Amino acid sequence: MWGDDEQLRGVDFVPEPTDYRIVSAVDPSTSGHQEGWRSEVIGWAPMPVQTYSSTRRNNKKLANFGIFLVLVVIFWALAKSELFWLEIPPPDSEWAYEESGVRDLQDKGLTGDGVRLCMVDTGIDANHPDFEDINLVFRDFSTGSNQPIDRGSLAHGTMMAGIVVADGHIFGAAPGVTLGMAAALGDDGNGGNTGDEQIVANAIEWCWESFDADIISLSLGGINDPDTPRNGPTVNAVKVALSKGVFVVAAAGNDGGIEDDGRVSTPSNVAEVITVGASMKGGSVWKGSSMGEPLDFDGNDRMNPNLKPEIIAPGVSIISTGENRQYYSSTGTSDSTALVSGILALILESQPDLKQKNIDCIVEVKYALMNSSEPLVDGISHDNKWGYGSINGEDWLKEIKSNVVC
């Protein structure tokens, strides 16, 4: 019936975040329309990693029935003592922590202790065994509840949290941080995650105002429309957080390739945000990582150290914590963003004077990031796909110690 109604032609149908079966008809040309935002989570849908059961092996051929009986008794005793069980663990993504310099920082005794890191995502399944000892503060912006839950499709928030704070089969980048999880996104009913822009903005405000975050990690994003007449609530919320001296790390986006619109997602397009693209094992840029644009939101040339994206980090086939005590694998700039947020937490533990200063201090830290990154091509200082280069956490810290005075 909708297709036959002339009055509904040319409008958008936007699902409500609390119930995807309810839609609102919106004229996309109306000033103030959300421009396709709805806080779509940046990150490809993960697939469960194969799980392995304990196995018991015995290929010995028995010579006679007497020997068989003796061996049965021996094997029974071994089984009772659990010495004959072979546990095959799930795979991991240790390469990502090695290539990004996380393990080098951790070798210095850094865990993120004393740092407050806030994620705005789908929530967290706090019952995963790798989260047994984490320091968690939770807020559900759909219900107001403080009881941890992951409302997302395929546990997106749980995976991002695991990259940072898991301490079990997966050993995250900064398991010692106090994690604030602001659940502001949910399952859209079609295998993705979505949320109202104002709710996401409210969650960002909670991160710095109530949770007192040092870092806000945003593995989410919306369409960066250059024709939008004003900043949306999320961009404004990020700018306020930055003005308070809170570091914001955000995903560049996953529209790389032939469909790339040439712009990173919003709010990663905000100048002082650390915008993160994704790299593959070995350091090459992932083809799906979004391209950055030379002009800022106001049409002015971007300047160092705020060229977009700023950095790339491992984000392909990253294995992390999932639902129901499982481990999931996902690909996208979401994963890269969580990893960089964890690295920054280790650095802030080492250099606590960088916390809660001002936006000028954030810019200095970004200069150190620019100068410490590893370009993919010699002689090119910035590329619109791989930014200033691959992240190296240890070199970033060394650069900060040498040149950052805030």
More confident residue, 178 or 18: 178
**CATH assignment of 89-403?**
3.40.50.200
pLDDT tens, 74-125? 545 545 554 444 456 788 999 999 999 999 999 999 999 999 999 999 999 9
Contact 247, 238 (CB under 8 A): no
* Proportion of the chain in helix, strand, coil states, percent, rounded to 5: 30, 20, 50
- pLDDT class of 190 with cuts at 50, 70, 90: confident
Backbone angles phi, psi at 102, to 5 degrees: -60, -50
pLDDT of residue 77: 55
Backbone angles phi, psi at 336, to 5 degrees: -60, -40
Instruction: Give SS3 for 381.
Output: coil
Q: Which two tokens stand for residue 313?
A: 């980090």
Sign of CA dihedral 395, 306, 267, 248: positive
Residue with the two structure tokens 């949910």: 186
pLDDT of residue 73: 58
pLDDT tens, 222-245? 876 666 656 789 999 999 999 999
pLDDT exceeds 50 at position 34: no
Highest mean pLDDT among 16-30, 47-61, 79-93: 79-93
- pLDDT class of 128 with cuts at 50, 70, 90: very high
Q: Is the pTM of this model over 0.85?
A: no
pLDDT tens, 338-353? 999 999 999 999 999 9
Instruction: Give SS3 for 193.
Output: strand
- pLDDT class of 32 with cuts at 50, 70, 90: very low
Q: What is the mean pLDDT of the chain?
A: 84
Residue with the two structure tokens 């200069």: 367
